[in-house]
Chains A and B, each alone.
Chain A
Amino acid sequence: MADSAAADVGRRHGSEASSPRRLSAPAAALVASAFVVATCGLVYELLASTIASYLLGDSVTQFSTVIGTYLFAMGIGSWCSRYVRRDPLRLFVRVELLIALVGGCSAAALFLLFPMVDHFRVALYTIVLAIGFFVGLEIPLLMRILRDGFDFREVVSTVLTFDYVGALAASLLFPLLLVPHLGMIRTGFLFGIANAAVALALILVVPRRRELRLEQAAAWAILAVLAVGMIAAERVQRWAETASYQDPILYAASTPFQRIVLTRSGDDLKLFLNGNLQFSSRDEYRYHEALVHPALGRVTAPREVLVLGGGDGLAVREILKHPGVEHVTLVDLDPAMTRLFSRSGILTRLNGNAFQDRRVRVINADGFRWAREAQGRYDAIVVDLPDPVDFSLGKLYTDSFYREVARLLAPGGMMSVQSTSPLVAPQAYWSVAATLESVGLNIRPYHAYVPSFGEWGFILAAHGAIPAAVRIPAGGRFLTAEGAERLFDFPPDMARRPAPVNRLDNQALVRLFSEEWGRYEG
Chain B
Amino acid sequence: MKADPIRRAVIAGLGTAGAAALVGFGWQMLKPPPPATALRGADLERGHRLRQGGFPPPSVTEETAIVIAGGGIAGLAAGWTLAEAGFRNFRLLELEDRVGGNSRSGRNAVSAYPLGAHYLPIPNREAGAVRHLLRRAGALTGEAEGAPVYDPYQLCGDLQERLLWRGRWQEGLIPRTGLTARDQADFEAFHAAMEAFKARVGADGRPAFATPVAYSSRDADLLALDRIGFGDWLRAQGWGSPVLHAYLRYCTRDDYGCEPGQVSAWAGIHYFAGRRGWAAGADGDNVLTWPEGNDRLARFMAAAFPASIRSGRIVHRVARDGDSVLVDSFDAAAGRTVRTRAAAAILAMPHFVAERVAPGLVPRSTSLSYAPWLVANVTVDRLPGGRGAPLAWDNVSATGESLGYVVATHQSEARPAGTVLSWYMPLSREDPTAARRRLLETDEAAWRRLVLDDLLAMNPELDGAVREIELWRWGHAMVRPTPGTVWTEAPRIAAAEPPLYLAHSDLSGLSLFEEAHYHGTRAAEAAMTRLGHAHGTLL
Contact = CB atoms under 8 A, between A and B. Distances in A.
Contacts of A392: 414-415
Given A366-B413, A395-B413, A506 B152 contact: no
A366 B414 CA distance: 6
B417 A505 contact: no
A394 B281 CA distance: 18
Nearest to A505: B155
Interface in A387-401: 390-392, 394-395, 398-400
A471 interface: no
A395 B411 CA distance: 11
Interface string A400-428: 10000000000000000000000000000
Interface string B6-34: 00000000000000000000000000000
A504 B153 contact: yes
Interface string B413-428: 1110100000000000
A505 B414 contact: no
Interface in A345-397: 366, 368-369, 372, 390-392, 394-395
A256 B417 contact: yes
A503 interface: yes
Nearest to A511: B158
Contacts of A256: 417
Contact of B159 (A368, A399, A507): A507
B293 to A, nearest CB: 18
A188 to B, nearest CB: 26
Interface string A118-143: 00000000000000000000000000
Contacts of A510: 158
Contacts of A372: 413
A369 B415 CA distance: 10
B216 interface: no
Q: Which one of A256, A257, A504, A505 has the highest number of Cβ atoms from chain B below 10 Å of its Cβ?
A: A505
B414 A504 contact: no
Contacts of A391: 157-159, 390
A392 B414 CA distance: 7
Interface residues of A, number: 21
Interface of B is mostly: loop
Interface string B103-117: 000000000000000
B281 A503 contact: yes
A256 B412 CA distance: 17
Nearest to A510: B158
Nearest to A372: B413
Contacts of B390: 390-391
Size band of the B side of the interface? 10 to 19
A505 B411 CA distance: 10
Contacts of A399: 152
Interface in B147-163: 152-153, 155-160
Contact of A505 (B152, B412, B413): B152
Contacts of B413: 366, 368-369, 372, 395
B290 to A, nearest CB: 14
B283 interface: yes
A186 to B, nearest CB: 24
Interface string B205-243: 000000000000000000000000000000000000000
B417 A395 contact: no
B294 interface: no
B38 interface: no
Contacts of A369: 412-414
B211 to A, nearest CB: 20
B496 interface: no
A505 B159 contact: no
Contacts of A503: 152, 281-282
Contacts of A506: 158, 283
Given A369-B413, A372-B413, A504 B152 contact: yes
B286 interface: yes
B110 to A, nearest CB: 14
Contact of A395 (B155, B157, B160, B282): B157
Contacts of A390: 390
B310 to A, nearest CB: 37
Nearest to A366: B414
Contacts of A366: 413-415
Contact of A507 (B153, B158, B412, B417): B158
Interface string B448-477: 000000000000000000000000000000
Given A391-B158, A400-B152, A505 B415 contact: no
Nearest to A371: B413
Contacts of B153: 400, 504
A32 B245 CA distance: 64
Interface in B247-288: 281-283, 286
A366 B281 CA distance: 26
A473 B277 CA distance: 53
A391 B156 CA distance: 13
Nearest to A393: B415
Contacts of B155: 504-505
Interface string B156-184: 11111000000000000000000000000
B415 A504 contact: no
A398 B417 CA distance: 22
B397 to A, nearest CB: 20
Contacts of B414: 333, 366, 368-369, 392
A85 B213 CA distance: 86
A228 to B, nearest CB: 19
Nearest to A333: B414
A333 B417 CA distance: 13
Contacts of B415: 257, 366, 392
Contacts of A507: 157-159
Ranked 10 nearest A-B pairs via Cβ: A366-B414, A507-B158, A368-B413, A392-B415, A504-B157, A505-B155, A400-B152, A369-B413, A504-B152, A369-B414
Given A333-B414, A503-B282, 6 more contacts: A368-B414, A369-B413, A392-B414, A399-B152, A400-B153, A505-B282
5 contacts: A368-B413, A369-B412, A391-B158, A394-B158, A505-B157
Interface of A: 256-257, 333, 366, 368-369, 372, 390-392, 394-395, 398-400, 503-507, 510
